Structure 1
Amino acid sequence: MKKELFKFLAKVNKATLPSFTKKRLDMAKAKKWQLAIIGWRYFVTKNSL
């Protein structure tokens, strides 16, 4: 049950949230909201695998 929820969230994240790796964002210069999105995407991806 939990894994299916995170797989669904991963698909939603991919469709809606920006990809900072494609934009070549420098992590040292990232703003707080960008770091929050990166952390959220990491958390969801980690739990969906």
Structure 2
Amino acid sequence: MPFDKQTSLASPTGADLNLYVKYAATDPRAVIQINHGLAEHAARYARFADY
């Protein structure tokens, strides 16, 4: 997967929430957080993260 870091967080109910991080190649001008639905996968947004 083309993300720089993968980790997980525990939800209040104890479920693991996967977290993928893509670091900027240059000084960032903004931070964008993408949340997706249950029927999707984070890899679907990898090319968008590279943009």
Bin for the TM-score computed over the shorter chain: under 0.3
Larger radius of gyration: 2
Normalised TM-score (structure 2)? 0.21
Which structure dedicates a bigger proportion of its chain to helix? 1
**Does 1 or 2 have the higher relative contact order (CA < 8 Å, sep 6+)?**
1
Normalised TM-score (structure 1)? 0.22
